[in-house]
Structure 1
């Protein structure tokens, strides 16, 4: 009986920087979404998988983490399950190799299929060409996919994601926020908590922050930079966020509104999310530029902030009128797809769809082959992607 039959569904894993999605092929959502970390004493927040100091530490953490997944969350015998790993094409080779070693050697899984997240996301939509934008925790990666082929030479990536938003939020809170105690008196946050934990910052962003519109953002910038300029717009309501004990954090409306602006500000090289999109489309074949612009797919947990997708489209349309792009690209329309899943696990769903096909039997890397070679084929290794020349050819 084939391992991928109904009674032994393959396991699908998407190990992200912040969260890991795990479940089985053929299902429409992960069984569980858990933080990509181990419980530990590192600042009281645990140890994240991607925050390791050497290969030995990463190997130990992956063994413990995957053990929890197999025996606590999925309740399966890993020796009888094929594995589908949904990964970014820009995933570090070191992490990929150690993950494969842990699965094949320690857990003795029969086979592993590595699938690129930007490509399999299109499986959820049934399209072959799209511009996939993955806004994750630590970075945003953009890769155009043309007729089922990711264009690696046109990729774009910047450290702009949920982590950047949380960093901006923390700096704004330490500068402006007040803490209100049970007696009603307010004191500066920095005098109560000099540094907010990652968990609190993430919770504040998810519960209270949003992305404002482009015209309102420009009005906010003009009011800050020009004293004689227009008056600032009316800020959103101030809310109270409960901290430890009877202390409540006063969240000013301007803080909730301005935290996400870090995604749209240009750096010293005049790079922003909008410029990354246009630069990547310009690096694509000219015949695919309009189809790519009309098939934007935005995924990743960082893209789930209210207002982010519409703001990003507005930014791109506005930047297109800049002299740098006006004479080089003429996009008639920008259209954003809505995958049949939440943005944070759309790539996982694509992996679950692909894993339910015969590809898992024909394209997987088996344990027997791995034990002979001790190597996993990689897209960026010429030794794995160069066709052998037939010595008999004349």
Structure 2
């Protein structure tokens, strides 16, 4: 019996705020990427029953309709946020063990796991997501949770800018019988992914407009300045991000870090997550960090160290680093729960 269970491939779940990836261990890529609303739901405290009401149909559909596998007596590998609410994690485990009959569940903290895909043991992990950006220093394989920071800057802020600007420029004319379809959040997200990028310190002088074809065959004209301005708030901050940017979050973590850790964090900036896939964003953030520290009184005397701020080389797409680790089911930084223990 035990040999037959061990022959079954594990079911792999990577939980994000906007999307959940699911697949089977041993396969090169996820079988499906499904949108869900956990990021929005985390904005207010929910009870166990409320989480169960949402999670159970989602997990059931992932297993039986998308993965097309029976989860009974299978092992699950779940990549999740280090600081998810306890009620969410307990409800998730309860569904996996009691309803889907999982034989074991391995919990992998995503912000620690991504380092294994870079062959580094030290980095300031900057997870740029949909709702927010999370920052966690990891020093020689040990996370430093007392330095954990969150910044309310993510892809959702960029999508709001795109949606607002497009709708304001496409107002319905008073004398026109043609109905103008308003830009939706889904359209704005698609435009952000396909047409937007981050300008560098020496910006391109003329960014051309882009045409975006919507699903209803409507053609949206995306101005060149919007293709770059939508991303600027992630780097410089504005009222949409409460005046805080990704760069500000990195500088705050560096200032709170011990002196012997600070230099290592500065030299190993690792940007991961879906938002980090915006072209040019990681390079621009690193350049802005150098510029900010040069004008900071605490770092001004250490100009040599400031110039050493650099990115960790990513050998895989920045939004897939955690998934690469999940395929190997790394155990040293994970917690495996048997049903009897839970």
Q: TM-score range by the shorter chain?
A: 0.7 to 0.9
Give the C-alpha shift of residue 337 in structure 1.
2.3
Q: Does structure 2 retain, via aligned residues, the 8 Å contact 1:212–1:307?
A: yes
1:2-39 Cα shifts (integer Å, max 9, x gaps): 5774x312222111111111223354432322222xxx
Give the C-alpha shift of residue 92 in structure 1.
2.3
Cα distance in 1 between the residues matched to 2:4 and 2:139: 32
Q: Which of 189, 192, 198 is the aligned partner of 2:180?
A: 192
CA separation of 1:12/1:247 partners in 2, compared to 1, >3 Å: closer, same or farther? closer
Indicate the residue corresponding to 1:146 in structure 2: 139
2:340 alignment partner, SS class:
helix
TM alignment of 1:40-51, pairs within 5 A: 48-51=37-40
Indicate the residue corresponding to 1:253 in structure 2: 224
Cα distance in 1 between the residues matched to 2:135 and 2:13: 21
Q: Does structure 2 retain, via aligned residues, the 8 Å contact 1:22–1:31?
A: yes
Pairing 1:83–2:55 present? no
Cα distance in 1 between the residues matched to 2:116 and 2:205: 43
Give the C-alpha shift of residue 299 in structure 1.
0.7
Indicate the residue corresponding to 2:105 in structure 1: 112
Q: Does structure 2 retain, via aligned residues, the 8 Å contact 1:49–1:58?
A: no
Pairing 1:289–2:282 present? no
Q: Which of 333, 355, 379 is the aligned partner of 2:308?
A: 333
Cα distance in 1 between the residues matched to 2:74 and 2:332: 15
Give the C-alpha shift of residue 200 in structure 1.
0.9
Pairing 1:343–2:318 present? yes
Give the C-alpha shift of residue 178 in structure 1.
7.1
Pairing 1:265–2:248 present? no
CA separation of 1:253/1:177 partners in 2, compared to 1, >3 Å: closer, same or farther? farther
Indicate the residue corresponding to 1:321 in structure 2: 294
1:258-284 Cα shifts (integer Å, max 9, x gaps): 111111224588632112112212222
Indicate the residue corresponding to 1:40 in structure 2: none
CA separation of 1:267/1:322 partners in 2, compared to 1, >3 Å: closer, same or farther? farther
Give the C-alpha shift of residue 352 in structure 1.
2.6
Cα distance in 1 between the residues matched to 2:297 and 2:332: 46
Pairing 1:134–2:106 present? no
TM alignment of 1:1-394, pairs within 5 A: 1=2, 5=6, 7-36=7-36, 48-52=37-41, 55-177=48-170, 192-194=180-182, 196-216=183-203, 234-243=205-214, 245=216, 247-266=218-237, 271-327=244-300, 330-353=305-328, 355=329, 363-370=335-342
Moved over 6 A (4+): none
Give the C-alpha shift of residue 236 in structure 1.
1.5
Cα distance in 1 between the residues matched to 2:25 and 2:244: 38
Q: Does structure 2 retain, via aligned residues, the 8 Å contact 1:85–1:114?
A: yes
Give the C-alpha shift of residue 213 in structure 1.
1.7
Cα distance in 1 between the residues matched to 2:185 and 2:331: 39
Cα distance in 2 between the residues matched to 1:67 and 1:110: 16
Give the C-alpha shift of residue 339 in structure 1.
2.9
Structure 1 regions of 5+ residues with no counterpart? 37-47, 181-185, 217-232, 371-394
Give the C-alpha shift of residue 244 in structure 1.
5.6
Q: Does structure 1 retain, via aligned residues, the 8 Å contact 2:10–2:24?
A: yes
Deviates more, 1:52-61 or 1:273-282: 52-61
Cα distance in 2 between the residues matched to 1:236 and 1:61: 43
1:368 alignment partner, SS class:
coil
Give the C-alpha shift of residue 150 in structure 1.
0.8
1:312 alignment partner, SS class:
helix
Q: Which has the larger radius of gyration?
A: 1
Give the C-alpha shift of residue 69 in structure 1.
1.7
CA separation of 1:9/1:244 partners in 2, compared to 1, >3 Å: closer, same or farther? closer
Cα distance in 2 between the residues matched to 1:111 and 1:127: 29
Give the C-alpha shift of residue 296 in structure 1.
1.7
Cα distance in 2 between the residues matched to 1:259 and 1:236: 13
1:156-208 Cα shifts (integer Å, max 9, x gaps): 1112111011011112222335799xxxxx98x9x8245x3221111111111
1:203-235 Cα shifts (integer Å, max 9, x gaps): 11111111112343xxxxxxxxxxxxxxxx854
